[in-house]
Each structure stands twice: as C-alpha cells, then as structure tokens.
Amino acid sequence: MRLAPVAALITATTILAAAAGAQAAAAPKTAVISIQPLSAVFGVYSAEFEKALAPTVTLGVGGSYWSHDDDVSTTKYTSGDVKLRYYPEAHPFRGFSFGGQAGYTSVSDKTDFGSGGSQTDKASGPTLGVALDYSWLLGETKSFYVGLGLGAKKIFASNKDLGDATLAYPTAHVSIGYAF
C-alpha cells in the first residue's frame, strides 16, 4: 500500500519536531527539512532541504516522484531541483517568499495496446520554475515547519512527442517539517 511510506515520513517528522522541544526557544533556525504528506495521497512523493544563506535568502534542494496509471497508460515524472527563495521580511522560513528553481526531470509514458503490445516514450531535460510560498515556524521552540506554495514548472525535454505527458504544469504544495 502506498500510504506506508507516507506514514513513516510523517512519524519521523513528528518525532524530530518533538525532539526539538529540548532546544532553546530563542535559537535562530538556519535550516529546514520537509516532506509533502498530503500530496503523497495522490502518489506525489516530495522532500526538500532548505538552508538560510542570509536573513533574506535561502538555498534548497528537493526531489519529487509522481506516477499515474490508468487503463491505457502509465506516466512517471522524477525530478530534482535547486531552489533559491527570497524572504522580503528578512525572516527565513517565516512569512512570504518567492523564488525560482532549476533542475532536471525525467518523464516516461508507457501506453499499452492490449494484445498489440506497448510503446514507451521517454524524455528528460533541464527544468525551470517559479514559486510563491508562505511558511510558519510553530510550537514553543519554533521548530515545527508548515509551508504552503503555488508555482509553475517547465521541462525543456529532449522529446516533445510524449503522448499524454505534460511538459509545463502548475505546482502546489503543503509541506511539514523540522526547523533547526
């Protein structure tokens, strides 16, 4: 069942956040590790690590995997990105931020023709994206991270004829994590 990895990630994140209770509340947070548990219900698995470089700028790395099966085809996206965010209020991991991302994505689309066999089309290439986010640090020690975001991503794939696969699409996330 696909929910087992999600439950394990949620449990691990909750334990890490609870362990942060021993830290001083005034300690500034310089990094966040997060997952997207709600999207995992739809088969989208994502995780991210974000590090503050300055009071207004963070640098992050993230990865995502998505697979969709129906009666005729199976489409899979796998991506890794580097993300740069700007926090105009000079509070990393809190409040509004906007930024860009660059990375690499691989897409495959397998179509089954019944007894006539199947065809697999693949494409991969660099990606560019933008995002607008809002995040909170919650709890006594401000170690429990919650982030919401919307954006868009474009894959500059090597193969434009990829069946039903989408090479430009909107993005959205609800993330939870641990700030340290």
Q: Which residues contact 87 (CB under 8 A, 6 or more apart)?
A: 55, 56, 57, 58, 93, 94, 95, 96, 97
- pLDDT tens, position by position, for the chain (180 residues)? 455 666 666 666 666 555 555 444 458 899 999 999 998 888 889 999 999 999 999 999 999 999 888 877 788 889 999 999 999 999 999 999 999 999 999 988 888 777 777 788 888 889 999 999 999 999 999 999 999 999 999 988 766 555 555 688 899 999 999 999
Quote the number of domains for the chain. Answer: 1
CATH of the domain at 131: 2.40.160.20
Q: What is d(CA 11, CA 7) in angstroms, rounded to the nearest whole number?
A: 6
State how far Cα 27 lies from the chain centre: 26
Q: What integer pLDDT is reported at residue 118 of this predicted model?
A: 79
User: Is residue 51 packed enough to be buried (19+ CB in 10 Å), middle (13-18) or exposed (0-12)?
Assistant: middle
Other C-beta atoms closer than 10 Å to the C-beta of 11 total 10
For the segment 13-34, what is each residue's pLDDT rounded down to a tens digit? Answer: 666 555 555 444 458 899 999 9
What is the pLDDT at residue 24? 46
Tell me which residue range forms the domain holding 117. Answer: 3-179
